């Protein structure tokens, strides 16, 4: 691919990613309240005033408004621009870093994992419908690539990844409960690793757990060096760590 084409594609993906990140930022506030993200027009989460188009430009609007609602002055969380920047970067990385032909799946996986990672980090919650969507899209892509290659191999890899991902964490959670008599893991973690496994295969699922542990250790080390107390609320939840690791593995390895 010529460099100019790649640059234009990356830029387009970044703009789309910023817009999707804007939805993800809204979902972060609205999903825990049981409100719809897609239905209805954009309104301020504090005063319900409609938001004009000029105030909906990713990042630019947040900076121009200095992170406040134009009508009521309520603070718009810093997670809004964070989600927009992360969404844009996922778009660019999908185009520039994913294995050949996997740009679109890489982006779709990345944006879904971004939403799940942020919700888990904020609310220690992995909404089951979102995990189910992640699993369904992973299975869908496996079906499609199997159809294209007239081979069952992609389906077998995906299924093995799903079973091993879910089974591994389910066994750990069950063992912990038997030994310690209490839950050591969020109930949403085994389904999340199962869904990630459908995307990255069995080796990728195992790699996701190892990667998540390494990222968690690195984050703890950074907090130690910054002399912050590592309390339960500053630790990153397993779901967030697995989302980061799983996406990195897909970027490097694709379907596995
Ligand atoms: Zn407002």
List the structure tokens of 147.
């159809």
The total domain count for the chain is 2
In a domain, 23, yes or no: yes
Mean confidence (pLDDT) of the chain: 92
Cα 46 to ligand 1 centroid, rounded to whole Å = 5
82 and 175 assigned to the same domain: no
75 and 134 assigned to the same domain: no
255 and 139 assigned to the same domain: yes
92 and 142 assigned to the same domain: no
Look at the pTM and tell me if it is higher than 0.75.
Answer: yes
Q: Which long-range contacts (CB under 8 A, 24 or more apart) does 125-131 make?
A: 125/32, 125/186, 125/188, 126/186, 126/188, 126/189, 126/191, 126/192, 126/239, 127/31, 127/188, 128/188, 128/191, 131/188, 131/191, 131/192, 131/195
Cα 36 to ligand 1 centroid, rounded to whole Å = 18
pLDDT tens track for 228-256: 666 655 678 999 999 999 999 999 999 98
Token look-up 């185009």 returns 95
Kindly indicate the confidence band of residue 184, based on its pLDDT and cuts at 50, 70 and 90.
Answer: confident
**HEC assignment per residue over 113-169:** HHHHHHHHHHHCCCCHHHHHHHHHHHHHHHHHHHHHHCCCHHHHHHHHHHHHHHHHH
What residues flank ion ligand 1 with Cβ within 5 A? 44, 46-47, 69, 71-72, 74
List the structure tokens of 22.
């804007």
Kindly indicate the confidence band of residue 77, based on its pLDDT and cuts at 50, 70 and 90.
Answer: confident
In a domain, 189, yes or no: yes
Q: Which residues pair with 50 in a beta bridge?
A: 43
35 and 136 assigned to the same domain: no
Q: Quote the pLDDT of residue 39.
A: 66
Mapped onto helix, strand or coil, the DSSP state of residue 94 is: helix
User: In angstroms, rounded to a whole number, what is the distance separating the alpha carbons of residues 175 and 167?
Assistant: 12
Q: Which residues pair with 43 in a beta bridge?
A: 50
134 and 251 assigned to the same domain: yes
- With residues binned 3-state (H G I as helix, E B as strand, rest as coil), the percentages for the chain, rounded to 5, are 70, 0, 25
User: In angstroms, rounded to a whole number, what is the distance separating the alpha carbons of residues 162 and 194?
Assistant: 4
Q: Quote the pLDDT of residue 222.
A: 86
pLDDT tens track for 157-166: 999 999 999 9
Cα 80 to ligand 1 centroid, rounded to whole Å = 15
Cα 75 to ligand 1 centroid, rounded to whole Å = 8
Q: How far is residue 248 CA from its own chain's centroid?
A: 11
Q: Quote the pLDDT of residue 1.
A: 55
Q: Out of 4-13, 131-140, 207-216, pick the least confident.
A: 4-13
Domain that holds residue 201: 129-256
Cα 26 to ligand 1 centroid, rounded to whole Å = 14
pLDDT tens track for 118-143: 999 999 999 999 999 999 999 999 99
Q: Quote the pLDDT of residue 224.
A: 84
Kindly indicate the confidence band of residue 43, based on its pLDDT and cuts at 50, 70 and 90.
Answer: confident
133 and 235 assigned to the same domain: yes
Question: Is 83's pLDDT higher than 70?
Answer: yes
Q: Which residues pair with 68 in a beta bridge?
A: 75
Cα 122 to ligand 1 centroid, rounded to whole Å = 22
249 and 145 assigned to the same domain: yes
């Amino acid at each position: 691919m010529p460099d100019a084409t790649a640059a234009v594609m990356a830029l387009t993906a970044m703009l789309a990613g910023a817009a999707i990140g804007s939805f993800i930022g809204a979902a972060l506030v609205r999903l825990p309240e049981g409100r719809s993200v897609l239905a209805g027009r954009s309104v301020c989460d504090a005063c319900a005033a409609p938001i004009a188009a000029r105030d909906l430009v990713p990042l630019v609007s947040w900076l121009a408004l200095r992170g406040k609602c134009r009508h009521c002055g309520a603070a718009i969380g810093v997670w809004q621009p964070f989600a927009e920047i992360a969404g844009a970067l996922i778009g660019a990385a999908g185009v520039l870093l994913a294995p050949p032909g996997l740009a679109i799946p890489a982006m779709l996986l990345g944006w879904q994992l971004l939403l799940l990672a942020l919700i888990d980090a904020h609310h220690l919650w992995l909404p089951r419908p979102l995990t189910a969507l992640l699993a369904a899209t992973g299975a869908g892509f496996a079906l499609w690539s199997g159809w294209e290659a007239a081979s069952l191999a992609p389906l077998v890899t995906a299924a093995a990844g799903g079973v091993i991902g879910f089974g591994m964490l389910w066994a750990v959670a069950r063992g912990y409960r038997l030994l310690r008599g209490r839950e050591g893991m969020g109930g949403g973690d085994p389904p999340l690793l199962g869904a990630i496994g459908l995307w990255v295969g069995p080796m990728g699922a195992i790699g996701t757990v190892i990667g998540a542990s390494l990222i968690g250790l690195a984050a703890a080390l950074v907090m130690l060096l910054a002399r912050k107390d590592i309390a339960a609320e500053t630790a990153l939840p397993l779901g967030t760590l697995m989302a980061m690791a799983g996406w990195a593995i897909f970027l490097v390895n694709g379907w596995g």
